[in-house]
Amino acid sequence: MSTRREDGPGRRDGDRGPVPVGSAGSAGSAEDAPSVGPVESVLDLLYAAPPSDFVSLRERHAGAARSAGRKEDARRLHAARRPTLAAWAANLLTRSLPEESRRFLELGRALREAYRALDADGLKELSAQRRSVVTALSRQAAGLAREAGHPLSEGARREVESTLLAVLADPAAAEQWAGGRLTGSLTPPSDFPSGGGRSGPAPRERPTRPHDPPEGPAGDELAERRRRRRQEEQARAERAVERAAREAHDRRAEREDADAASRRAGEAVDRAREEVSAAERRLREAHAELARAERELGTAREREHTTAQALDRAEREARDAAREADRTAGRAERRDPRD
């Protein structure tokens, strides 16, 4: 069995599939609460929220349940444990990618069947393929967490990988992950092979009695049937791994395309901002030039006005001087005795 570091609120044993975002799942157990009710929707909401928001949301909803007289709901909500960042990312994977998660669970069932039937070489090959699928899916979880504003550290991403390995190895871990309410990372069992080989004891040798096929035609037929069954199980497991690997590759390619488009859009935004900044700078310079020209125009108009006033004054003075000269000449003529 896999080891849980922390347990989240459970679901009924019948709930095996991943829970979409916002969906209300089944209840934890018959003793805890009714199988369906408002508390399930609230728990789904809590475990879909980032860990930083978990406690405040939990207390708010628990208080609302108490105020409404739903004491058992309030107790269950208050008992809900805050997920680690890695556990939240693993939960986010089941909620954001339900179809990929469902196929991953199917892959786990196929691998567990193959593990019981394959020899060491077949297990080694499947283990390497399984590690590739787990790595790809953990990268998707890290991408989803980053898009949600909560990037994962390398340690947290390794915890997500550990959880996914446990999901492939252990039906109980698969059921916990599918419920979407993990509070801590899961650890794969020690007797399931790791990506680099077997991490636990090898499968026990089949006893020679009484399970070995009898000698003769009947024994040969039984051995052939067993061999064909092992081959079919291995082929199913390999097809499941290949399908999961293709899907993970496709999702990774889509994410890379989206990242490239995002980078291009970001570069376009940066260029547009630079152009806007340059245009604003040119506009400020034009405003400054306009203000300078307006000041010069005002100064010129003041000089023109002053000059016009001086000219008017000079013309008046000239006219006054001419009239005065005329008057002076007239007086002089009247005083001349020769006249």
Check residue 202 and give left, alpha or beta (phi > 0: left; psi -120 to 50: alpha): beta
What is the percent of the chain with per-residue pLDDT over 70, rounded to a whole number? 68
CA–CA dist 257, 154 (Å, integer): 23
Rounded distance between C-alpha atoms, residue 117 and residue 125, angstroms? 14
The alpha carbon dihedral of 33, 7, 159, 171 has a sign of: negative
SS3 5: coil
- Residue 218 pLDDT: 66
Q: Quote the pLDDT of residue 140.
A: 92
**Residue 154 has which token pair?**
């390398």
State the first-to-last Cα distance of the chain, in angstroms, to the nearest integer: 151
Q: What's the mean per-residue pLDDT of the chain?
A: 77
Write the pLDDT tens digit of every residue in 25-63: 333 333 333 333 478 999 999 999 999 999 999 999 999
